[in-house]
A and B are shown apart, each in its own frame.
Chain A
Amino acid sequence: NAGVMQNPRHLVRRRGQEARLRCSPMKGHSHVYWYRQLPEEGLKFMVYLQKENIIDESGMPKERFSAEFPKEGPSILRIQQVVRGDSAAYFCASSPVTATNYGYTFGSGTRLTVV
């Protein structure tokens, strides 16, 4: 039973390019969460999605960032026109139902470096 799979593990983008981060939840999990970890900081919530629905995007920057979790396929976190400040580790997590009872399972993260 594979865990939460994130790819790529490392991603390098030049300023102004687009970054696409993918997350495949654990089998049977229909809830996905994205977090961002800036250097030397804790994880910060970005967005919570269920299949085809964004439930809570209150942690997402208003511009350039978007997320989706289609009926088929992985969840995608998309960052348009990346800037140096977007350099961070982006973590995805999943749960079978709302996560309140036991937390959730995290992936290994994607480290985005903007040069």
Chain B
Amino acid sequence: AQTVTQSQPEMSVQEAETVTLSCTYDTSENNYYLFWYKQPPSRQMILVIRQEAYKQQNATENRFSVNFQKAAKSFSLKISDSQLGDTAMYFCAFMKQSGSRLTFGEGTQLTVNP
């Protein structure tokens, strides 16, 4: 079974600064997908970024980028130029290549301060 661990229950950052959210996972699979989802107070789950395990290049989406370390089973999210609208709960998630279910971590509550 897969597990996903987010060791930072809460984090805060000043507007315009950079913050990194940590995620580690455990799996015996070789091919899989990793995701970061954002859940603002509206409760909507919004896909932020995804990474295929067979790709060595780290995924980037505008101000969001990941540091994927496959050997270490680490998948951190970096948010640059933080904005007030980035305040949300962030969930790291894992999906097997052969499956359709997402396994989520417990989440990190990020607060961006003005």
Contacts and interface: CB of A to CB of B under 8 A. Distances in A.
B102 A109 contact: no
Contacts of B101: 33, 45, 48, 56, 59
B91 interface: yes
| Chain A: interface size category | 20 to 34
A69 interface: no
Contacts, number: 64
B45 to A, nearest CB: 4
B95 A45 contact: no
A41 B106 contact: yes
Interface residues of B, number: 26
- Interface of chain A: mostly helix, strand, loop or mixed: strand
Interface in B36-93: 37, 42-47, 50, 91, 93
A112 to B, nearest CB: 13
Interface of A: 31, 33, 35, 41-45, 48, 55-56, 59, 89, 91, 93, 95, 98-103, 105-106, 108-109, 111
